Structure 1
């Protein structure tokens, strides 16, 4: 009998619990409980033990289950880790491209809320800048402005058209939409977002958020029901007290930009149409697309690309591309003289001469007739000295040399009736309209870059 036959014999007997093939006895079978009472120092025979089928199946199934569970668990964790990593990378990349590449954004869900749900309450990066700014969904902005209808359009600037909108919450907004044909572009869009997001002052317009959709970039501001300053001082009657308050408010806003904000900011396009008025006629400086920041002890900077609006640009900036806080002071001085007179500096006409408004004001000052500059529609009872003070300060701000112009901290003090104005003004920059036109015609080479394509002549009906 061989081993297979021995196995078959044991299998036929239900009481057989083991079997073995020995050299002497041949096939041996064991019955009952196995008890090993022999100990071999070497050699010995192989013993084959029978096990219940149920016990063998349970053991195998348990082992298989354990193995499968372990493999499945490990696979799930690995897969979860890989998916999480890809999601993180994708979200990080999207955040960095949000404003750097608008074409990658804007796939809105019609069921979205006012804000872009995917990006709400998270940091956004533009280059090295980290922003905490809400992103409105395009559906919300389009609905709020009646799909950017002409009836909702309230202005047009260098950045592009401006629309009035109404959010589902009932809040009125102003939406600046980047125009492909504008002199300003994505760089100015990002610049305005970065700067305004960091600024908080009652005399600066408040940025509520932005929207990126395809190639469209939109800035969402608080709505100013009284629109812009130019609509009042050039077209309607504005009381002297209101003019006084507006001048003081603009001065406070500029002082904040120059000295008190987290960044020292040069606006570079300060003008009447960029001064917005809220329901109480409080002025708010707007449009920071061309603004630049200074750090540390930096005083001035030079650019080969001069952008701004003729009539408000300081001569050193318009001619040589140099800008500083004194450039803002010059623009502010122009605003003072425009607000007092109710006349525009650019395009000013007088029957007796061809001077611009600055030259006209300077002539009246030197002739001893500064009150003749006052808007004829104004009735001044006991405020003549105050009007003279404001004309005086305005002329100090528009002096030809930047070093002669006072800083905004001194300007605010001089506007205060309790502080005497001692300094006498010198001849203003761009004394005549002709000198400004000659400069524009001859600035095609070297570091005299302004051209008609780089200068913004903004026409605004408000925002």
Structure 2
């Protein structure tokens, strides 16, 4: 009990204010238990112990009326008073008119300030500044000139002077240890345009302010608070940093570097009794310095920030962008290179600063230098304290530590090779297509004229001979038990009414399709397929098909030389071979994107309703994310065995996507699984597939994952998955019966994924 009473006594001694004035003089030192409180009662100065004991005592400043002590400054952070009684410590004005913290048991000073004049006093101002003031009111020393890990409003910090770092903020070691930690902040004295966060001697994070250096990013507003940050020069040699706050409680805002290396702008929220972050950097792992390697950038506009390659570059190590990117085509000095514009970018590290230039002069500065890899230009509206009204930034060598940011970004112009292989191929296609079309037209005209003058009997003989040769080639071994039955040519002639034009459904790249032929051939093939499909397509096979389709689409989008958008992915366009390996077919509606193209629009929407993404069906906008949406529909079809266009055939089943969402949300995913595979199937694997399918069919294309991410999620079952957005319901629109989107003539040696449609 005596021990408990002693601890309570010590806590009361350290927390109860014996002195509540805002200043003290040489005649009246400050002892443990005494406090200075600023006139408005916002800040307090006194002795404290982070562990609420008398083992280590510090002098510090904190917010007086906030429940949990929040420190903004510590005098002796690396020289605490230890192994002594509280009464032995004191903060006093010495005979030399300086502030000194001492331990009377040893008599040695642990911390001192600069010497003041006669009759000095120590005052804690309402701004949180602790000042040693002379008799005439002149500040001889102030804590604002010696910050620890926090910058308060109106605190004017001299970061650099004559090319040298003057002030550096050091984070504490931890929440209970105010001593100097591993993280620090300083300004880049060479450029005066960026701030560095260091982890020891290693550059950890970089903040640049290029948009307008006279206003360092302008202002930031949140809740009822507006923060205006400014950077100003002193005698053309130094750089001051300061910010002001307007709002209900401007004094309760602080900019600090915490022990984890994060820079936070925090404001006290009385409603929640907590600190609210209006600004926090770094915000993600790829936001750290050079995390995406040379010519890579961190895309902070995505829901989950990740590394990407700059336009005109590809990953050095396959799909791992974190190691950096390389050019698709090398630069050749002397060639007339081109520049691609990237908007909303955080400019890279390692630039050369050119003042007072025009935009054209900045372009010339880079384009005439073979070593220049990029440039950026900004024309400032007001010069303010700066000597220049514009600035040109030029980079040579690798571009490191850039990013795409949702705000405060600027245009970055990157140098690429003059003519890419893609452009050469396009030019070749532009030349060859008209020639090929002309040759085909002439050939077709000659064939029509030739066959027109031949007799009907000769035409039938030729057709019969070709058909018989083809059918015999499918049974070279003489085995009559082949996969598809033998059909006489005469039966086909009868079924198509002698290939009558009235029975022709259409024509494609491999010839004409007749109604009678389609019914005569496919009637038996599809009956055989439907009878066997439940045993042929158990869950492991379906999961294999899902991953195969995903890898195929990823190849079209990313791994192929050209970016190919299919635009008509659906069950009938996925063919299965005898080993159940899927093949994507029918590229009649596909579009090719160039290296710097991400989206296109069309006035003629083609494809199949149900598989179309909302932005494509309603606005004609398509991208790789349009194929992602179609894949999501396919995935849900394969899991459920329900065709996207068939929910009207089921009771209380509004829409496959909506039904999948409702069952997934309610934890009843087993109700969506095809009954033929429900028994003995891994529900965790099926649940993950449904989850991925719902991510793919989200209404906003920005929320849908890339197919490379889909493949990763399918093949790495322990990786976490984002939460999908609730889908918006769209009424089903049926395609016209007998239209091209409802039928598919596939190779007789392949099996279509259409077998999964319907239960």
> TM-score, with normalisation over the residues of structure 1?
0.50
Deviation at 1:457, TM superposition (A): 2.8
Aligned to 2:370: none
Instruction: Spell out the pairing of 1:36-435 with structure 2 (5 A cutoff).
Output: 97-99=438-440, 103-104=444-445, 106=447, 143-146=465-468, 189=509, 236-237=534-535, 238-349=537-648, 353-381=652-680, 383-428=682-727, 431-432=729-730, 435=731
Distance in 2, Cα, partners of 1:166 & 1:93 = 39
Counterparts of 1:362 and 1:144 in 2: how far apart (Å)? 52
* Residues 274-327 of structure 1, C-alpha deviations (whole Å, 9 max, x = no match): 111111111100011111111112111111111111111111111111111111
Alignment match of 2:741 (pick from 434, 457, 462): 457
1:355-395 Cα distance to aligned partner (Å, 9 max, x none): 11111111111222122110011144362111111111111
**Closer/same/farther in 2, CA of residues 242 and 235 from structure 1, 3 Å limit:** closer
Q: Which of the two has greater helix per residue?
A: 1
Q: Distance in 2 between matches of 1:373 and 1:453?
A: 28
Residue among 428, 433, 436 paired with 2:732: 436
Give the corresponding residue for 1:113: none
Give me the whole-angstrom Cα distance separating, in 2, the residues matched to 1:457 and 1:397: 22
Matched residue SS, 1:459: coil
Match of 1:115 in 2: none
Q: CA deviation at 1:261?
A: 1.2
Give the 3-state SS of the residue equivalent to 1:403 in structure 2.
Answer: coil
SS in 2 for 1:284: strand
Between Structure 1 and Structure 2, which shows a larger proportion of strand residues? 2
- On the 8 A contact 2:713/2:721 being kept in 1, the answer is no
1:201-225 CA deviation, whole Å, 9 max, x = no partner? xxxxxxxxx78x9xxxxxxxxxxxx
Q: Distance in 2 between matches of 1:344 and 1:414?
A: 24
Q: Decide whether the 8 Å contact of 1:144 with 1:166 is kept in 2.
A: no
List aligned pairs for 1:26-41, cutoff 5 A: none
- Alpha-carbon distance, 1:236 to partner: 3.9
Residues 309 and 457, structure 1, Cα contact 8 Å, conserved in 2: yes
* Separation of aligned partners in 1, 2:444 and 2:502: 13
Give 3-state SS (helix, strand or coil) of 1:339's partner: helix
With structure 2 as the length reference, what TM-score do the two structures score? 0.32
Conserved 8 A contact 1:233-1:339: no
- Work out whether residues 227 and 278 of structure 1, in 8 Å CA contact, stay in contact via their aligned partners in 2: no
Q: Structure 1 residues 343 and 165 mapped into 2: Cα distance closer, same or farther (>3 Å)? A: farther
Q: Secondary structure in 1 aligned to 2:556?
A: helix
Q: Deviation per CA, 1:340-363, whole angstroms, max 9, x where unpaired?
A: 001101121476535111111111
Partner residue, 2:134: none
CA distance 1:418–1:298, shift in 2 (3 Å): same
Report how far residue 100 of structure 1 moved: 5.1
In 1, are the aligned partners of 2:612 and 2:626 still within 8 Å (CA)? Answer: yes
- How many Å separate the matches in 1 of 2:600 and 2:504? 25
* Structure 2: distance between partners of 1:108 and 1:169: 35
> Distance in 2 between the 1:167 and 1:278 partners?
19
**What secondary structure is seen at the aligned counterpart in 2 of 1:336?**
helix
Contact in 1 for aligned 2:539/2:681 (Cα 8 Å) = no
Gap change, CA 1:168 and 1:261, over 3 Å in 2? same
| Root mean square deviation, CA, Å | 4.5
- Which residue pairs with 2:200 in the alignment? none
Task: Kindly indicate whether structure 1 or structure 2 has the higher relative contact order, using CA contacts under 8 Å at least 6 residues apart.
Answer: 1
Rounded Cα–Cα distance in structure 2 between residues aligned with 1:305 and 1:101: 30
2:534–2:676 Cα contact (<8 Å) kept:
no
Aligned partners of 2:658 and 2:727 also within 8 Å:
yes
Cα gap change, 1:253 to 1:170, in 2 (>3 Å): farther
The answer as to whether partners of 1:263 and 1:293 remain within 8 angstroms in 2 is yes
Structure 1 pair 243–297 and aligned structure 2 pair: CA distance change class (3 A): same
The alpha-carbon distance between structure 1 residues 408 and 97, as it changes in their structure 2 partners (threshold 3 A), is same
Tell me, in whole angstroms, the C-alpha distance in 2 between the residues paired with 1:357 and 1:233. 24
Shift in CA distance, 355/344, structure 1 to aligned 2, threshold 3 Å: same
Please state how far the C-alpha of 1:98 moved relative to its aligned partner.
3.5
- Structure 2, gaps ≥5 residues long: 1-432, 452-460, 483-498, 513-523, 748-759
Provide the rounded CA distance (Å) in 2 between the counterparts of 1:302 and 1:256.
23
Change (3 A) 1:374 1:141: farther
Provide closer, same or farther for how the CA distance between residues 235 and 348 of structure 1 changes in structure 2, counting only shifts above 3 A.
Answer: farther
- Hey, what's the Cα distance between the residues in 1 that align with 2:623 and 2:531? 27
Of residues 274-283 and 451-460 in structure 1, the stretch that sits farther from structure 2 once superposed is 451-460
Does the CA-based 8 Å contact 1:348-1:356 persist in structure 2?
yes
Is the Cα contact below 8 Å between 2:633 and 2:693 reproduced in 1?
Answer: yes
Distance 2:620 2:554 in 1: 23
Which entry has the higher C-alpha Rg, 1 or 2? 1
**Does structure 2 conserve the Cα–Cα contact (< 8 Å) formed by 1:307 and 1:455?**
no
Q: Return the offset for 1:263.
A: 1.7
